[in-house]
Structure 1
Amino acid sequence: MSFQFIRSMRWSVVLILAIASLFLSGCNPRNYRTEAAQVPQLVLVSPTDPKTFNYANNQTFPSVFPFIYEGLTRENGVTGNYEPALAESWKFSPDNKRIVFTLRPNLKWSDGTPLTSDDVVFTYEDIVFNPKIPTDQKETIQIGTQKVFPKVRKLNDRQVEFILPEPFAPLLAATAAPEGVMILPKHALAEAVKNKLPDGNSAFISTWGTDTEPKKIITNGAYVIDSYSAGQRLVLKRNPYYWRKDQSGKQLPYIDRIIWQFIENQDTQLLRFRSGDLDVMGDTRPLRPEYFSLLKREDKRGNFQVLNGGPWSGVLYLTFNLSKAKDQNGKPFVDPIKSKWFNTLEFRQAVAYAIDRDRINTNLFRGLGVVQNSPISVQSPFSLKEGLRVYNYNPQKSRELLKKAGFKYNDRGQLFDSEGNRVRFTLMTNANNLTRVAIGAQVRQDLSKIGIEVDYNPINFNVLIDRINGSREWDAHMIGFTGGIEPQGLANLWMTSGGSHSFNLTQQPGQPKMQGYVANDWEKEIDRLFIEGARELDPEKRKKIYGEFQKLVQEQLPVIHLVNDSALMAVRNRVQGLKYSGLPSWGLWNIQELRIKE
């Protein structure tokens, strides 16, 4: 090979690297600044784009809404206490059936319009309580056996009264962001609520989608949406009318701009963090344990810190489609052969015994996870620590249960039902979460040992949600659900009318009609326990009620709890003021108070 050729090749490589460097620097969020705006900014990451800019339509986490909206109250992410937010105070009547919230003076929306009690009444009465608008917040504030909503009425521009049919212990939780109701602008959305689409549904359902010009989204939180590029980034800038101020009177937030990058692959996220392109990793979903170990060795050299906030306040579970309903054309959502398996208690219990959760924790969570046996987060005082039925790894027990239920094995160890059908189903999870993808692979392997064949299909998260809540054409899925201190926050998952009651989902507002929906007796009992737990004000009596709920879930096993994350997050030292714990579902819950120190 000639020297001339080698030199030519060398210059070609240099040229390619230079071009690549220019390309990469152009994509670097650190360079996403104009010469006129050298402002403090925070660069975050999310595995998925937002599904909507309409808060009432949101069913997924992470979302943009904790950045841009607030409720009457908020939950402190360290103590779990409920604190004033848009409301500066509240007062309960002696019988706990009337609560008056007093708004802060001079509140404004991001367009400068005054925020008043009219907006509060509109949000609750016209949106959350509206039967034609499918919002996940309904279940958190329905009261009593009749599942009625409180009456919310204006007293004056700054005071609004909630009138309850009976005492309702979770009321403050229902008004607290980010899990509770966030307040929306009446002046911008009232017409959309009144108007109807050609199919008869409220026009509000299709209002403020991600195709809306971002600057038209009116907010009351710390930030407004400045721009959105699908599949790339969402840019937020500080709300000039935000109400919070620090002790010296300086308006919050301190950080002028947030760049929210969308990177589905977690390994790519890690590379971007290690190269300095990201300020935080793990704020919306805990770090993978192997990332935690790797970054812990690099924190001093990389000028960042790796935090462990203890158990994360959510749950991870596997569930089967128990629906026996049919679509509007009479087609069953679930193959009747599979439906019979899934609705057999011994089958679900056998699957639970066959999954080696300790192995999942050891191999995939590096021992940092928590084996979960309860639907209530371990941080909650209502979480039952003893007396629950548990399903420790026991494949022999699995086989015994299956045989008892009429299933049979052939000479190759393959499982068949009593009618000779091979037991085989599809398991889905979200492909962007590599830990879940690995867990699903082990579940598939574990179930093969008891003769069950699993067709494993990790897919895009938004597609997964559409399959679960939309077409409903699924056999089994594995997913997480955010949690917290107050059990009523789980009502949307556990009550039969809830929009997240995916294992036996009833018809939701705006969806095509379905036929033959039936709730199991144990589901109706869970409804009763939630109603009873919400009306009871004595904490010890509430613990007993929610203890019965947890025992019932573990007996009937509509979901199989797996291993829960620890709250692991990496953050650059330039980010200051963070108050991190595993309690909130969002590691940056006090985003308004964060500073950037260059």
Structure 2
Amino acid sequence: MISSQRALGRAILYLSIGCGVLGIPELTMRAALAADYKEAPSLAKEVAAGKLPPVAERLPTNPLVVKPVNSIGSYGGTWRQALVGASDGLLERTIGYTRLVRWDPQWTGVVPDVAESYSANSDGTVYTFKLRKGIKWSDGTPFTADDILFWYNDILMNKEITPAVPRWLRSGNDPVVVSKVDDETIQFSFKSPNGMLLYYLASNIGSDILAGSPAHYLKKFHKAYNPDVDQLVKAAGAPSWVALIQAKVGNWQSPDRWRDAARPVLDPWKLTVPYTGTTQVVAERNPYYFKVDPEGNQLPYIDRVTYDVMGDVQSVILKATNGGLDMQAQRLNSLETGMVLAAHREQGGYKLFKVQPAWSNGMLICLNQTVKNPVLRQVFQNKDFRIGLSLAINRDEINDILYAGQSRPYQAVPRPGTALYDEKLATQYTQFDVKAANAALDRTGFTKRDDQGYRIGPDGKRIAFSIDVQTARKDHIDALELIRKYWKAVGIDMQPKPIESSFAVARMLANDQEGLVWIGGGGYDFLGLLDPKWYFPYENQSAFGSAWGIYYQNPKDPNAEEPPAWAKKQQDLYTELLKTVSDEGKLALMRQILAITGEEFPVIGTDMDPDNYGVVKTNFHNVPDIMPDTAFYVTPGPTNPEQYFMK
């Protein structure tokens, strides 16, 4: 059984995708002459009929030029996708990745988007963004610095709409100050350095600024501008004007902003059938989109994007294997699904592309060193105890049984190929060695055993604990059952505790878990910088030391607990990192943090999360063979879906 799984898993690597250099578009700032601009035939007809201005008048003075992945595209076609339920983020990922600044396709840095250029002062307290002159919303209304000011003054700083300014837009307790220099220039100012602002703007949360910026549309839902707003509230069936405008603006975690087809956007496609209980969501090309290809063709190439609303993931998989999806990775990106997709390529008329998980690990084991049980706390805080448990895990067997041989033993460190990769840290304590495991556990002093062979803890009782695991993660449950057997062999009584995801999170946030397993974040450089919770006690979600993480965010919190010196050193280094402007400086500080992680070994890794796959029809072009897969990168947004085309 294992050998057949391994063979099938390996087959995926060679079916249809190849292993060449990542061919993804570069963004340039060179614009064609206005006289050379071209447009989709459907828009040309509207111009001829007097319904639209000429394309040169719809584009900004300096449109962003996108170099296609493989070739200049052709206009037309409908991009078919599928989403699940009422909270799917697929629209945000595929037609909503528009930002002041964005990730480059390779996820190696930040590049301009709506902002034509940007700069920061030397200490990272003032960021200046030059907007593209002449850029317009999808309804033809000019987009200017006044729109950003509306978001700032009337959405972000309105305590009824935004009760608390998010952490990434604060200096301590002081919120960012946004000011207008001129119609095309805005500044973000902080009281203390903010070295991470550009990263946040380019990530998933950066969408919230532009979603709250179409002032000419949103003012009618704002009580400060419309004294008759209650009539709109009543017509919408909303509980208040605040709830109504919050729904119009939405946030990156909610599909609410996609329930209003009238809301203007700067995206390549605009809604025509919103996400409101229908069986299909539809978006059509934005005639005012601000990007062109190197030959002056206004993007996007594809006319329409549709999303069939499905009841479950299995329905999405079935639609893919029957050829009903043109290009999609979300809801398909698991190893098990990849095997199914590989087996039905000919039937579905598609090939596979690789979506490389941004996670450092398929499953991290976090023993809560701030657990409320004082005996377990003493046990878990002993590094030799954690080392012994790590050495007792047969990761190769887990890889064969659960990952079809496509993974490898791995600890909680960034992935190979990244600037922060460290082979020594990645592989330490990953060998399966029962003798060495017992030796490490003996060094803890817990050498006595009961009549069933389990080790006796400092209270004279068997060392026994549970590990929370999400019921939705069958692979984690299965892995923990194997690990329970491995640890029993070295005298440790661990019991998996499957619980629903929200309950697992609630227990973690309350520091109630004895142990927790979770997928390991921080696999790519920028993800590690943005979300370092598995590398040091960064927040209450750092499940290996939740109370220490709470201390870092708020030392006065009643649930906070001062961490040991090594963890405080990491916290101090990360505070310095947050104030550092240069990428090189941030990476250097992160290497110091990771060195301490390797030395203290707070989290036990298992196997690297293996590559996953998406489908792309054979007549669908300019999709890269490989792309990162995470909400922080907003997959596939940075690969420029506007340059995908069909023929």
**TM-score scaled to structure 1, two decimals?**
0.72
Matched, 1:40 2:78: yes
Partners of 1:473 and 1:310 lie apart in 2 by 30
Name the counterpart of 1:80: 108
Amino acid at match of 1:553: T
Name the counterpart of 2:483: 443
Name the counterpart of 1:413: 453
Preserved CA contact (<8 Å) 2:360 2:522: yes
- Aligned pairs for 1:233-382 (under 5 A) are 235=281, 237-238=283-284, 240=286, 243-247=289-293, 248-252=296-300, 254=302, 256-259=304-307, 261=309, 269-280=316-327, 282-283=329-330, 286-288=333-335, 290-308=336-354, 312=358, 314-320=360-366, 322=368, 324=370, 334-382=372-420
Preserved CA contact (<8 Å) 1:244 1:252: no
Name the counterpart of 1:24: none
Partners of 2:468 and 2:319 lie apart in 1 by 28
- Aligned pairs for 1:178-577 (under 5 A) are 178=204, 180=206, 182-183=208-209, 184-186=211-213, 187=215, 188=218, 207-208=246-247, 214-216=258-260, 218=263, 220-222=266-268, 226-228=273-275, 235=281, 237-238=283-284, 240=286, 243-247=289-293, 248-252=296-300, 254=302, 256-259=304-307, 261=309, 269-280=316-327, 282-283=329-330, 286-288=333-335, 290-308=336-354, 312=358, 314-320=360-366, 322=368, 324=370, 334-386=372-424, 390-392=428-430, 393-407=432-446, 408-462=448-502, 464-469=504-509, 475-481=515-521, 483-486=523-526, 487-491=528-532, 498=539, 500-503=541-544, 504=546, 505-506=549-550, 514-536=558-580, 542-562=586-606, 563-577=608-622
Matched residue of 1:526: which SS? helix
Name the counterpart of 1:200: none
Return the offset for 1:96.
6.1
Q: 1:495 to 1:542 in 2, by over 3 A?
A: same
Preserved CA contact (<8 Å) 1:427 1:477: yes
Partners of 1:274 and 1:475 lie apart in 2 by 39
Partners of 2:157 and 2:200 lie apart in 1 by 11
Partners of 1:482 and 1:543 lie apart in 2 by 13
Q: 1:281 to 1:166 in 2, by over 3 A?
A: same
- Aligned pairs for 1:91-110 (under 5 A) are 91-93=119-121, 98-107=126-135
1:50 to 87, 107, 116: 87
Partners of 2:599 and 2:157 lie apart in 1 by 33
Which range moves more in the overlay, 96-105 or 212-221? 212-221
Partners of 2:511 and 2:260 lie apart in 1 by 31
Q: 1:84 to 1:275 in 2, by over 3 A?
A: same
Task: Name the % identity.
Answer: 17
Preserved CA contact (<8 Å) 1:372 1:564: no
Preserved CA contact (<8 Å) 1:235 1:258: yes
Partners of 2:531 and 2:286 lie apart in 1 by 35
Q: 1:364 to 1:434 in 2, by over 3 A?
A: same
Amino acid at match of 1:43: Q
Taking only aligned residues, the RMSD between alpha carbons, in angstroms, comes to 4.6
Preserved CA contact (<8 Å) 2:79 2:327: no
Partners of 2:223 and 2:519 lie apart in 1 by 33
Preserved CA contact (<8 Å) 1:379 1:485: no
Once the two structures are superposed, residues 138-180 of structure 1 have per-residue CA deviations (whole angstroms, 9 ceiling, x without a partner) of 35x767xx79776442212321123456766544323213365
Preserved CA contact (<8 Å) 2:471 2:498: yes
Matched, 1:156 2:205: no
Number of aligned positions between the proteins: 528
Preserved CA contact (<8 Å) 1:355 1:447: yes
Return the offset for 1:308.
3.4
2:99 to 44, 57, 71: 71
Preserved CA contact (<8 Å) 1:71 1:176: yes
Q: 1:449 to 1:387 in 2, by over 3 A?
A: closer
Once the two structures are superposed, residues 299-335 of structure 1 have per-residue CA deviations (whole angstroms, 9 ceiling, x without a partner) of 34531112236664554442436374xxxxxxxx744
Once the two structures are superposed, residues 233-280 of structure 1 have per-residue CA deviations (whole angstroms, 9 ceiling, x without a partner) of 773524747634333443437252331655655x66544422334445
Partners of 2:305 and 2:521 lie apart in 1 by 29
Return the offset for 1:552.
1.3
Return the offset for 1:228.
4.2
Preserved CA contact (<8 Å) 1:253 1:591: no
Preserved CA contact (<8 Å) 1:273 1:280: no
Preserved CA contact (<8 Å) 1:77 1:584: no
Once the two structures are superposed, residues 473-496 of structure 1 have per-residue CA deviations (whole angstroms, 9 ceiling, x without a partner) of 563122243653324222466575
Amino acid at match of 1:522: W
Return the offset for 1:121.
5.3
Return the offset for 1:430.
3.8
Partners of 1:545 and 1:513 lie apart in 2 by 27
Q: Which runs of 5+ in 2 are unaligned?
A: 1-75, 225-241
Preserved CA contact (<8 Å) 1:70 1:177: no
Name the counterpart of 2:24: none
Name the counterpart of 2:200: 174
Preserved CA contact (<8 Å) 1:44 1:278: yes
Q: 1:62 to 1:388 in 2, by over 3 A?
A: same
Amino acid at match of 2:401: N
Partners of 1:262 and 1:509 lie apart in 2 by 40
Partners of 1:397 and 1:379 lie apart in 2 by 30
1:138 to 161, 167, 171: 167
Partners of 1:382 and 1:70 lie apart in 2 by 28
Matched, 1:593 2:642: yes
Matched residue of 2:531: which SS? helix
Q: 1:343 to 1:569 in 2, by over 3 A?
A: same
Matched residue of 2:291: which SS? coil
Matched residue of 1:583: which SS? strand
Amino acid at match of 1:174: Y
Matched residue of 2:626: which SS? coil
Name the counterpart of 2:52: none
**TM-score scaled to structure 2, two decimals?**
0.67
Return the offset for 1:419.
1.4
Q: 1:40 to 1:163 in 2, by over 3 A?
A: same
Return the offset for 1:101.
0.7
Q: 1:448 to 1:462 in 2, by over 3 A?
A: same
